[in-house]
Amino acid sequence: MNNNKKNNWQRYIVVFLITSAIFLTGLWFSGFLDQRRIKQLQNIENTISLDLQSSEIQFSLLEELSCEDISSSTVLSSELNSLAEKLSYSESNIGIENEEVISLKKYYSLLQIKDYLLMKKITERCGEESTFILYFYKNTECQDCTKQGYVLTSLREKYPKLRVYSFDYNLDLSAIKAMIAIYKVEDNLPALVINGEVHNGFKTIEEIEEMVPELKESLKIEEDQTEGEIEDTKEAKN
């Protein structure tokens, strides 16, 4: 009765092709921007790596340089922190299983270890007031790791001298495995290594402050210094 019942298959196919083209363009553009992100991360890591190498060379030449010159030109944690934020974003957006993201994460972990070793040497040699925390976590099935992350972020903001290096326990990287073996870090995560001592399980801000009394002391010294500077300025004005 109704000749409208004739299906226009050609229209269905053309629409399918157009929709696929739109969809694939979206996929391609998204992939293209992800590649740009990865490139940006590579550039940041290369810059940090270069800075680290430069610091290492400076450290080797320590005898000819003053401590002041070295510490001011070493890699800043903020740069590593910003890289960490971007890596974490890439993990959740590009994919935790993405090979390039994993590779970048490995490189980032190596940079952290290098920075840690160098900063430790400089601290010992030049008497810098820095505290180091090595933090081992895992991405899945670890509620306490999320909480520990909040605690460490909060501590880092409170104590600028604190340097936190975080490592994915399950990352297939020999350097991390070596650290796990050296400090005997167990699978019971999160785990913190403070002054060479391993602390398993979640630790609150107060507990960490108790473990590292230097943190509060460094804050006091800083406050005293600031007060002293203010008084000096007042006197100078008078």
Residues sharing a CB contact under 8 Å with residue 69, sequence separation 6 or more, in sequence order = 58
Sheet holding 162-168, edge to edge: 162-168, 131-137, 191-194, 197-200
Selected range binding another protein among 114-122, 125-133, 142-150, 182-190, rule: CB under 8 A: 142-150
Q: Answer whether 196's CB lies under 8 Å from 141's CB.
A: no
**Residue 141 touching another protein (CB under 8 A):** no
Selected range binding another protein among 13-21, 51-59, 169-177, 216-224, rule: CB under 8 A: 13-21
* Cβ nearer to another protein, comparing 67 with 150: 150
Q: Answer whether 59's CB lies under 8 Å from 122's CB.
A: yes
**Residue 139 touching another protein (CB under 8 A):** no
Q: Which of 47, 65, 67, 89 binds another protein (CB under 8 A)?
A: 89
Residue given tokens 């909060």 in the structure block: 154
Q: Which of 75, 94, 111, 215 binds another protein (CB under 8 A)?
A: 94
Q: What's the closest the beta carbon of residue 187 comes to another protein, in angstroms? A: 21
Listing DSSP states for 28-97 in one string gives HHHHHHHHHHHHHHHHHHHHHHHHHHHHHHHHHTGGGS-HHHHHHHSPPHHHHHHHHHHHHHHHHHT-TT
Q: What's the closest the beta carbon of residue 9 comes to another protein, in angstroms? A: 9
Amino acid symbol at 237: K
Q: Which of 19, 46, 47, 54 binds another protein (CB under 8 A)?
A: 19
Contacts 24+ apart (CB under 8 A), 115-119: 115/52, 115/74, 115/75, 115/77, 115/80, 115/163, 115/165, 116/163, 116/165, 118/52, 118/55, 118/56, 118/59, 118/74, 119/74, 119/163
Q: Which of 70, 80, 133, 151 binds another protein (CB under 8 A)?
A: 151
DSSP 8-state assignment for residue 157: H
* Cβ nearer to another protein, comparing 53 with 154: 154
Which positions from 45 to 84 touch another protein by CB under 8 A, shown as an x/- string? ----------------------------------------
* Cβ nearer to another protein, comparing 55 with 108: 108
Q: What's the closest the beta carbon of residue 75 comes to another protein, in angstroms? A: 19
The residues of the shown chain that bind another protein, judged by CB under 8 A, are 1-8, 11-12, 14-16, 18-19, 22-35, 37, 40, 86, 89, 93-98, 143, 146-147, 150-151, 153-154, 157, 204-205
